[in-house]
């Protein structure tokens, strides 16, 4: 009787949970101090709870190499930004939303025609990014050519291309070109104001605090 009772109890719990979720509809996420809850999201389904706003249709996925130092990572400070979802690499399940676009130097330029499509950005050294991109051979690729960078590069291996964008710069440009929110994207980037000046843009919201 004990095993049957456990199974029956679990089934009843799941049934009650479905009724509750249908009655409540889309919920705002809640991050507890120690718990990890599953939160319904209209675009991504059930995900571990994280600071997230329902106004975002779909966050830009940043596949971040675990070999990179967090203190030198330009996108790590945005890990709680509602427009971004950072996934550590390697990972057991590669994020692969339908119709996604991979930001990659081999593709044609990203444009307004790509608006509304999921974006995937690789955050790693240029050498490691190449191996990470092999998991996405099937995806459409788009590039960001001809844009200046304010990031002071100093690769000891000489693998950084001249004028190569920092990950947060590529993120900002991708959002700007596809009419996605840019508020707060450069708030933690030391060269943020310089980068905007090089682009000839004025975007105070991008340099402000991350929206809640």
pLDDT confidence of residue 161: 46
- pLDDT bin (cut points 50, 70, 90) of residue 130 is confident
| pLDDT for residue 200 is more than 90 | yes
pLDDT confidence of residue 167: 95
Task: Please give the mean pLDDT across all residues of the chain.
Answer: 77
- pLDDT bin (cut points 50, 70, 90) of residue 56 is low
pLDDT confidence of residue 52: 36
pLDDT confidence of residue 43: 34
Structure tokens at 75: 């996108």
pLDDT confidence of residue 116: 93
pLDDT confidence of residue 31: 33
Tell me the mean pLDDT in the region 119-124: 95
Which SS3 state, helix, strand or coil, does residue 127 take? Answer: helix
pLDDT confidence of residue 12: 58
SS3 sequence, 3-66?
HHHHHHHHHHHHHHHHHHHHHHCCCCCCCCCCCCCEEEECCCEEEECCCCCCCCCCCEEEEEEC
Those residues whose C-beta lies under 8 Å from the C-beta of residue 170, and which sit 6 or more positions away, are 103, 121, 144
pLDDT, tens only, 81-100: 999 999 999 998 999 999 99
The fraction of the chain above a pLDDT of 90, given in percent, is 56
Please give the radius of gyration of the chain, using alpha carbons only, rounded to the nearest integer.
20
Q: Are 144 and 174 in contact (CB under 8 A)?
A: yes
Name the pTM for this structure.
Answer: 0.70
């Amino acid at each position: 009787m004990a095993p049957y009772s456990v199974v029956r109890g679990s089934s009843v719990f799941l049934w009650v949970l479905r009724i509750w979720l249908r009655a409540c509809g889309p919920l705002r996420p809640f991050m507890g101090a120690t718990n990890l809850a599953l939160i319904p999201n209209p675009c991504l389904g059930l995900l571990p709870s994280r600071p997230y706003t329902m106004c975002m249709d779909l966050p830009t996925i940043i596949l971040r190499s675990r070999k990179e130092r967090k203190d030198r990572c330009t996108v790590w400070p945005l890990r709680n930004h509602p427009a971004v979802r950072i996934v550590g690499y390697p990972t057991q399940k590669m994020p692969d939303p339908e119709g996604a676009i991979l930001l990659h130097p081999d593709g044609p330029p990203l444009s307004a025609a790509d608006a509304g499509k999921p974006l995937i950005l690789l955050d790693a050294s240029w050498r490691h990014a190449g191996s990470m991109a092999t998991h996405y051979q099937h995806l459409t690729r788009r590039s960001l050519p001809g844009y200046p960078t304010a990031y002071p590069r100093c690769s000891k291996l000489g693998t950084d291309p001249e004028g190569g964008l920092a990950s947060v710069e590529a993120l900002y440009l991708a959002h700007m070109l596809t009419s996605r929110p840019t508020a707060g994207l450069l708030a933690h980037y030391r060269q943020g104001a310089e980068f905007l000046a090089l682009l000839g843009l004025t975007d105070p919201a991008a340099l402000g605090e991350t929206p809640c």
